[in-house]
Amino acid sequence: MNSERPPLSILVQQLRAAGETTRARILALLARTELSVGELVLILGQSQPRLSRHLKFLTDSDLVQRMPEGAWVFYRLPVSGRVRELVDTLNAAADPDDLTLRRDVERLEEVKAARVAAAQEYFSRVADDWDALRALHYSEPEIEQAVLAAAGPGPFELAIDFGTGTGRMLNLVAARSRRAEGIDLSHQMLTVARANLEKAQVTNASVRHGDAKAAPFADHVADLVVIHQVLHFLDDPGRAIAEAARVLKPGGRLVVVDFAPHTLEYLRDKHAHRHLGVAEEDLERWAGKAGLEVKAVRRFKAPGEADKSVAVTVWSVEAGAGRVRKAGKAA
């Protein structure tokens, strides 16, 4: 039902789906941020089964997108296209001083505050370990500048961050992108990323549940993919590189950041690192098998003694302009 010029019957179905008070309130809320069913229950004061029925009307009509996230489900408006234009037009026609809509927005702000509190509580529990990990390598501002240099000036139509974590890389590349999407398997990290994007007032980026080894995106849709400090957690890092190749447009760019090979064995047990860094020859092999080419490598030396800190490598990798094949599994 996603054609640019839908039959009249589809337009009528979409107008009927939007033409009910609760569903109109949902569309107005989702224009401000993505929300879970539980959050909508809190804002609208209705039961989950009732809201689920309303949401089914909206998703069946393509007015709203359903984004599963483990045991949770988030909902958002389409990011672009004719359907988004229709929803924006309907929302713009509503009276912003309507008492019901104003109350909904007030409750939405309470939900956003709860997200921030949940993120703060999570980081208060992991702060010691988090700070210890940050101290292991070169300063983050220097690495972030290297990431931007490796990515290029843009503008990017779509940038994707594999393993988005706290959303820092997503925030970074969103400034050069029309749209940016981050995926992560951790619900806690997605909560943190959402709170951080809200705090930074980044409106063109969103996050969703997803696996870097099986990314929830179509082939050849992204101008830029970032994989920041993710590969050392994976059993098969080459699969993530192959997935990046699959979603990249011909001529698109992949930026990879990871620890260089090191000997800090405690990172395996204490921080679930599957590999002690990523060797340059391995990254080159994975990229080559996926139909990509390493264009540039930047190395950041370990800031301290070798047994107490680690070096970091930043790769700039490109999909050939003539590449149209679907990348297979990397070794």
3-class SS string, the chain: CCCCCCCHHHHHHHHHHHCCHHHHHHHHHHCCCCEEHHHHHHHHCCCHHHHHHHHHHHHHCCCCEEEEECCEEEEECCCCCHHHHHHHHHHHHCCCCCHHHHHHHHHHHHHHHHHHHHHHHHHHHHHHHHHHHHCCCCCHHHHHHHHHHHHCCCCEEEEEEECCCCCHHHHHHHCCEEEEEEEECCHHHHHHHHHHHHHCCCCCEEEEECECCECCCCCCCEEEEEEECCHHHCCCHHHHHHHHHHHEEEEEEEEEEEECCCCCCHHHHHHCCCCCCCCHHHHHHHHHHCCEEEEEEEEECCCCCCCCCCCEEEEEEEECCCCCCCCCCCC
Q: In terms of CATH, what superfamily is 135-319?
A: Vaccinia Virus protein VP39 (3.40.50.150)
Digit-coded pLDDT (tens) for 57-100: 999 999 999 987 666 788 999 988 899 999 999 999 999 899 99
Mean pLDDT of all residues in 300-308: 75
pLDDT at residue 325 tops 50: no
User: What pLDDT was estimated at residue 330?
Assistant: 34
316 vs 187, higher pLDDT: 316
pLDDT at residue 326 tops 50: no
135-144, 162-171, 222-231: range with lowest mean pLDDT: 135-144
User: What pLDDT was estimated at residue 1?
Assistant: 47
User: What pLDDT was estimated at residue 124?
Assistant: 65
pLDDT at residue 293 tops 90: yes
138: confidence class by pLDDT, cuts 50, 70, 90: low
303 vs 284, higher pLDDT: 284
Domain spans of the chain, in order of start: 8-107, 135-319
User: What pLDDT was estimated at residue 3?
Assistant: 46
User: What pLDDT was estimated at residue 263?
Assistant: 85
20-29, 46-55, 101-110, 273-282: range with lowest mean pLDDT: 273-282
User: What pLDDT was estimated at residue 127?
Assistant: 55
pLDDT at residue 324 tops 70: no
**What whole-number percentage of the chain has pLDDT above 90?**
59
**Average pLDDT over the chain, rounded to an integer:** 87
pLDDT at residue 323 tops 50: no
Digit-coded pLDDT (tens) for 268-277: 777 778 888 9
User: What pLDDT was estimated at residue 46?
Assistant: 92
pLDDT at residue 209 tops 50: yes
Architecture field, domain 8-107:
Orthogonal Bundle (1.10)
